[in-house]
Structures are given as C-alpha cells and as structure tokens.
Structure 1
Amino acid sequence: MTRAGDDVLGVLTVRAGRSDAEINASSLTGTLGDQSVTVALEPISRTPRRAMLVVDTSGSMGEEGMRTARSAAKSFIAAAPKDVLVGLVSFANTSGVDVPLTVDRARLGRSVDALQSNGETALYAAIQTAAKALGPSGERSVILLSDGGDTMAKNKARDAEAAVATLTKGGIRAEVVAFNTDETDTKVLDRFAAAGGGSVVQAGDDKAVTAAFTAAAKTLDNQVRWRLTPPASLAGRQQLVLSGSVGPQPFRAVTDVDLGNLRTSSPTDPPAGGTPPTNGAPAQFEAPAMSWMLPAAIGALFLGLFGLVAALLAPAFQSKRSKRVAGVEVYLPEREITARARRDRSPSALTTSLVAFGDKRMADRKSTGKTMALIERADLPFRAGEWWVIRMVAIVVVASMGFLLMGGWIGLILGILLGILLPAIVLRILAARRAKQFDNQLPDALMLVSSSLGAGFSLHQALDAVAKDSADPLAKEFSRALAEARIGAEVADALERVGERMDSQNTRWTAMAIKIQREVGGNLAETLRTTAQTIRDRHSLTRHVAALSAEGKLSAYILIALPIGLFVYMLMVNRPYVALLWTTPLGLLMTLAAVALLAVGTFWMSKTVKVEV
C-alpha cells in the first residue's frame, strides 16, 4: 500500500483461478477502524506489476522434477499478462538472478530450458535475492517452486525468520507450489505464503504443477487497485475490511494499514495507462535515490585521474633548457636552485603549491631518503614533493574505484589501503628492473674498459668510450660518474657512488678493485678482466639456480593468485554471495583471517624458493 496525497492506494487480488473473475464494483464496501469509507476501483495497469519465478534446482529435485519444473515455469510465462515484468531466480548451493525483470518471454523461456538439477538447497537466500531484484515498491509477487528444505543455511531458524520478514516488510505476495521430495518442509512454505498474503498449492504430478503455475499467472489478471480517503480523525495502525462479491460469490478481505508509515507515491511512478518496456533489456524501475557518496566518488575518480595524468606528463612538457638545468641541479645544494627555475619546472601555480606542500610533508619523514634513492634508481623525473602528489592522487583514484566497484565503506577502505601500497610497489619494481638491467650490462662494459686500457687509453678515456657506446641505464650512470670525475672526484669514488645509487654489489667490487690497484700497483686491465669474468660466473650461477627453482616459484605464484582470482571471478558472477565477506561480522572475520593466512603463506613460500648466490 502507498499514499497519494490524502488517499491510500492498494491492490486487491482475487484467487478465483479464472481469467474472467471480476469484482462487482457496486458491491464493494470498506471499513477502516470503526468508520465506513468509500472505496473506488482503478485499472491495475496503472500500477507496475512484477513477478519473480524462484525455482529450486538442487539435487533433490532430480531430472524428473526439473522436467516438471521447466514445463510449469514455461506455462506461467505464457499465461502471465503481457504488461507484467517477469524475472527468474534459480537456487542450489547459491542463489542468483538468471534473468532480470523483463517482458521478453522468449529470453525467459531459453533460461528456463537451461535449468539443471545439482547441488544443495539455498532456499532462504533465494527469497532474499528475489525480493531485492523485485525492487522496493509496486505490485510484486514471488512464484516459488520448492520442497521447502534448506541445506545451506548455517542457522535455519534465524535465516527462515529473515526470509519471512523480508516478504512481510516488503509487502511481497508469495504464491508457493510445494514439490514433494525427501527434504519436503511444508511448514516453511506455509509461512512464506502467509507472510506474503499468498497461497500454497500441493503439486503431486506434472499436471498439478502446471495447473498451479497457470493459476498463479491468472491471478495476476484478477487484480484491481483500490483507492480510499481515510477519515481525518484516524491515525496510526487501523484495521481495513473490504467486502464485496465476485460474480455470485461474496468475499471479505482483512488487513492492517499503518496510516503514519505509508510510502508516498513519487513522480517516478508510471503514469496512468503507461506501458512497460517492450524490448529485452531489464526494466528500469523506481530506483532508490542515489547516495551522495556515489557522485562524490565519481567526481573524485575523475579529478584523481586528471591529476595523475597531469603529474605523469608534466616532465614531458619541459623545454630542453629546463631539462639541462634540471640535470645540473642534481649536483647543487637545494638552496642554490633559484625560484625562477622552480617556476619554470612547474606548469601552474596550483601545481607549484601542491608540490611545495608535498616537499614540506616529505621533509619530515625518515623514509624520504630511501624513497628518493628508489626514484633515482628508477630514473624517474620526480622530486620529493611531486612524488607525494602522485601518491595522494593514487589514493584518491584507487579509493574511488574501490567504492564504485565494491560499494560501501569496506570498498573505500580497501581502496585507500591499495592506493597507499600501489605506488610504492610500482616504484620498487621499476627500480629493481633498472638495477638488474644495469648489472647485466656491467660485465660487457668492464671488458670494454679493459680492452681500451690494453690499447693505451687512460681510465677516463676508457670510461668515456663505455658511456658513449653502451645503452641505458649503464651509459647514463657512467656519464654521471665521469661528470663527477671531471670536477675533481676520484674515479673509484664516483663508481662507488654509482654502486650505491644502483644498489649494485658488482659495481662496488669494481670500485674496490680500482682502489686496490692504485694502492698496490699492478695491471688494471687484467684486474678488470678478472672482475668481469667473476661477475659473469655469478650471473651464470644465479640463472642456473633460477632455472632449478622455477617450478617452486611457479607453484608459489599459482597458490597466491588462486584465491585472489577466484574472489574476483565470484565477485563478477555472484556478487551477493561474495558480499557476505564484508557485509556480515562473520564474513569480515573470515576475510581478515584469509588475508592474514595469505600474507603468512606468501612470506613462507618466498623464503622457501629464494636462494641466495
């Protein structure tokens, strides 16, 4: 029932089982509380009508039972009025919407034909799924075919009460066809029908089931909408009695009306004489008001993506002069960088303010030194403040995506955590990849230096030849070492700083070999050749160990990715089932335990397959 202005609206259903059952409008009288009221009838087409077929596909139904169910469901689809939106929910181990509400009867028929019997019975979850799919208002009904048993509920009494309460609170009528199996529980089915103001029909054979479904479809044709104006003196919960006749047969309907708690009809209600969609797309009906958080998340996502792209592309718009100045500034104290140079490197005043604020935030952190070392190792053109801005933008973007994809505070919190961790993980991967590439290039570079020394070149000339002929990242790092040597630094010290910058133990050994040769004398070319051969032998041994441990690593990757991939898959195919992991206290506890166990397992497997060389 709903309220439209001062009037109260409701739907009266005649369960005569005949399509020609009509209420005599002149015989209809009403009593609200202790006062008589005038009741007017209106065509039901003014009210959106929705029906959800809920079919038990558990193993207890068997192939014979499913054959009967499929035939009966198709009979209902054929007999239901054309304006009624019909959907399909099937349930076994879990429940899900097979076909959203639609008027496409052919699509419904194809889905019904595909139903198969298998698994356990999640009856109570299926009732909740159907109620949610039917929407919050309008004339709604559930046509349930089941034996009444539920083998998946953890607490059957509590879950049954919740399903009954959903039907009662939502005002959803339940027409039940009771199927006889070894798990039959007629008491539960009777409660569903009573809660939804419907009826239970016992189905003993194919014809009885088909007749029951056909009668349920015809019931939708035997509906009228009534309208009455309650007296101003009445308030609160009152008993409404409607009396009249259907043909020669009298009837009397009794229900309670809470005059202070009726939904008000809104402009989203269909107009009189309106028709439902005629295509196969799911009906769009009276969606609840959008939360303010959804547009806020969409706006934050857009702004975050825009900021991230702007921050990443900002260095690409620098002039050649700015790039040369930036290359020199890495060797100067911060106080010697002019304010003009800062402005030149910032595309806007807003960016300048954000980067300046980020510089202040990063200056107070102990981890800033390690972060800048990783940025330098990865050869990214970011200052500390710029990196802070990128991290903040990543948090906003990922948190917004988490909220949009998962919904609620859990998705928002997980998005924030992922946004905090993701930039750091990406930075470490980029730095490690570049450092590994540098180490792989080093033996060939040392052999080139050794050959140049043997040909009579000085060490500076040999390093310059390497810097010119090698590829990045080795060419760039050796160029920086040469630049330091040209302004007075020792070559060995410059190479040692390269080793620190790239976290390369091999480069440190090379610098140590040069220092020792300078102190004790000897053939530097032969020393570097020996060092290069040692590095190559270590790389060969490392690759051999990696090949031997590849199977263990692959197993570890699969075991780590399997629960994550399964979670994502279930999120796409059966979101209500997975949503229990973050919408219930027990689910949250299980999620935390699973994350903790996954973290421990990941750490354990990483230590198991990691072999130091």
Structure 2
Amino acid sequence: MRRLVGIAAASAAVAAFVIPGLALGQGAAPKLSVSPSSGFPDRAYLLQLPERRALTTAGVAVTENGGPVSGLAVVPPGGAATGALLLIDASNSMKGAPLAGAMVAARAFLKERKPNMPVSVVVFGPDEAVLADFTTDGQELAGAVANAPATSEGTHIYDALIQATESIADQGLRRATIVLLSDGTDVGSEASLAEAQQALAAASTRVYSVGLRSPQYAPDSLQSVSRRSGGRYAEAAQPAELAAIFTEIGSDLASEYEVTYRSVLPPQVDAAVQVTVAGLPPAKASYTTPALAITSGGTFERSWIDKVIVSPYLAVFIVVAVIALLALALFAGVDARNRSLRHRMSQYVSVPTEEEGRMRRAEVTSMLAAGAQRRVEGHRWWQSFERDVELGGFKNSTVGIAGWTIVGAIVTSLVVAIAFQSLAGLLAGLAVPFVTRYIVKSRVKKKRKAFREQLPDNLDVLAGALRAGHSLVGAMNVMLEGADEPFKSEFRRVLQDEQLGVPLDEALMVMSRRMDNLDVEQVAIVTRLQREAGGNTAEVLDRVVDNIRGRMELQRLVQ
C-alpha cells in the first residue's frame, strides 16, 4: 500500500512538468515561448515540438497580426552556439540519497541530449567545482556524473549562477540553459538575487529550476530565478523523482528550435504571433511593440558649427578682419618702398645729407616738445607702440607686428570658438593685442634695465678718457669702443645727433627719456656746464657715478 502511495505522489509531483510534453505528442500544438535573446524589431522565439523531427526554414511560417515578417530563420537545437549547464547542489544537506539521485538524474539528462550540444556539469556549495567543462564528448560527460561528489557546508546559489553565466560567456554560447537543482534556499552568497538575475539577463540565459523537498527547503528563490529568466520550475518530493524531470528537460532541449525574424509592425501595437509547422497545429504568442525612444527637441536643431557659420557676429568679424588686412597690406607696401629707397641711397652716401639732417633735427625737436608728440589724441597709442617696438629692437616693423597681431587674433577667435562650441569664443581674439603689447613692453623693460646696469662703469671710462686729455666727444668715442649693448647703440645715437647739429646735452636728454633713466640727465647737465663754463668735468663725473652707484645699492637693498 505504501509503495502505491509513493508512486502516486511521484506521479503528481512530476505531472506539472511532464504532462504538457506528453500532451504535445497527442496532437497538441507546439509550444512557443520568448527567447531570452529576443528584442525589437529582431524577435526570437523558442519553438518546442511535440516530437523530435528535422525542421528547416522552409517548413515554418510566421505571421504577425496576419501579416508576413522578414528575415525568417530557424536554428536547430545543439551546435556550437547553444549549450546546457547542469548546476547541482552539493551542500551537506544533499549528502547521501539526494546527491545520488541527482547523479542519476544527470545521467538521464545526458541520454536525451543532442549529440552535438555541448554540456557542462558543475556542483556547488560554498564554492563551485567543475566536473566537466563544456564538451560534446559523451564518455567524458558520463565519467563526470558516474559518482557522487563530496559535499561541504553552505548553499551559495546566487554566486553559483553568476559563475555559470561567466563560464557560458567564456564559451561564446549565444543561447544557453542552466538546469539548477537544490534542496534548500540560498545561504551565504556574496551576490544578491537581483545581481544573479541581472547576470542571467546579460548572458541571455534561462534557468530550469528543480527543487528537492527537504526540511530547510524554500522554493521562492528557485521559482523567482526560473520565472524571471524565461525558464520553468519543477519540484520533486523524493530523490527518485528527479530522473523523470531531468529526462523531460533533456527531451525538451533536444526538440527545441529557435525561430528568429524581423518585425515590420509599427511601435506601440499589440502583436499576435503565429508560428505554423507543416503537419502540426499553429503555436501562438503575443506581445506589444515598444514605443520609439524619441526625445522632443523640435523638428530641426542646428549644430554648433552651423550656428557659428550663420552667426551675424562672425560676418561682422570677417568683414572687419578683411578691411584690417587690406589696410595692413597697403601700409606695408608703402613702408617697404620707403625703406628700400633709403637703403639704396645709403649705399652711395656715407655721411648724412642735409635732408636727413633736417629730418633728424625735427625728430629730436618733436621728442623734446610734448605738444608735438600728440598729433591726434586717438593716435597716441600708435606712437607709443612704434617707439616701444623701435626700443625693443624687433626685426619686424611696427606695421608688420601689428599685422601679425591681427592675424593671430583672427586665428585665436576661430580656434577658441570651435574648441568650446560657443560664439563667445570669438571674443578671445581681443586678448591677442594685449599679449603683443606685453611682449613689447617686456623687451623694452629688459633693455632699459641692462642700460641702467651698464651706465656707471661706462661713465668711469668716460671720466678716465677725459683725464687722459680727450675732449668730451672724443672721450665718448673712447667709451663706446669697449661698451656693450644696449649702451653702445644708444650712445652712438647721441653722437650721431651731435654730428647733425643737435647740442650734446639735448641729445642726452632724449636718450634719458628713451631709456627712462634720470641719471643720464645728470650727465646732460654736466655736459652743458662743461660747454658753457668749463671746469674739471672728470671730477664731476666721478661724483655722478658715486651717486648712481649709491642709489642702485639702495634700490637693491629695498628690493
């Protein structure tokens, strides 16, 4: 009597899993379920046939809402793209008959598999142990499940599922099925149920969960994993019932085809899918096409480069730049002709002409007279810039430097506007003239500092030459022979002015202003006294040198 009751209980436990498959063999329609790899518009369905038979694309017809689909393909079970992984609980609660029954069930599964379907066998407790990696070798798989493995404390179901998905990914399987067997709930996993489900979804892997009842058994986690992954759940009351369940799973996988196609339906439409196999009733499924992921941004939005090109500010900037470049070219041409004329005349005239003398006197006079320096109020910056360029010793002319500044401003504006994708970047070119001005000022400041450092030593040489009996102009020539730049070139200008008829003290005053040096004014006063009253100029220069050096030492101390 007890034996009959046990058989009845086993039949009831397996009925939910086995009867659908048996019903298929009684003229029922094939079963259609969504594949874990399905999406939209590329759809994928798993077609479960009631019997094993060869099936090709020509023997399958698919419609959506009665209309045709495109790109229909049928993938048979097995092959390098699909596989199965047996994941068996080997915790201490499975020791003895439960684990032995699990090995019998694994052998039953392997008998039903397609010969070309790779299978892996893994047992888990707190850690995973691979009894057989993915292989189609029947002997290797049979040896892996021949004996029950050792057990250990802990049931890390979620960790084992994540490790299984990693193995499937390493194998390169496009579609895989995990057959999970356990007699308890998860205990001790580092991962959570949500993390395990996320890993299964990422690997397009479904789970067939099989629960073996025990005092510590809780079906919630196994049911959730199988339901969320697109698999199925079965439950066995006794270890002897496992073989029938695993046989049915193996048979299902051996007769399961993947049907793929591309849907032509519009978004947000209820779709009725019908798959018809020759000689069998149609299999049906339904879904709703997703909405298009469209963000509202207007009918048209200009790119940043379009905004820069059509901007009125860019048009104004280009017009101003072209006018400035044309003016620069005109000024440069006039300046080049004037300089070439003076250069040709200098090859034949070794002494200043009367015209050059008159122009030089006018230049000195204009520098001495503050009112004559200001032709027009708005042009003072240009006169100051010309003077600084000449003092800095730049090889390019003032017009040339200004032209390159304009070009640099244009290039900087365009580069910054493009780099930051903003029209405000066009204003960056306004900083280029200030950079040019800073460079010129720095060169002038450096030259004036060098002149100030050289002045005392050269005045000592001048005083010594006066004591040797040279005239003041002759002593200056002696001083220049051993002088360094910039002192040498600046004092040579003084002597040139003196040759053109400019009084020596006035020429020195001009140099004082050029070099921004008040000490030179003392030398100018000494030369005026020497011209008007005579006296011991060398001794006076010695006092001037002492004052200059004392002031320089005091400045160094303060700094």
- Normalising by the smaller structure, the TM-score range is 0.3 to 0.5
Q: TM-score, normalised by structure 1?
A: 0.41
Q: TM-score, normalised by structure 2?
A: 0.44
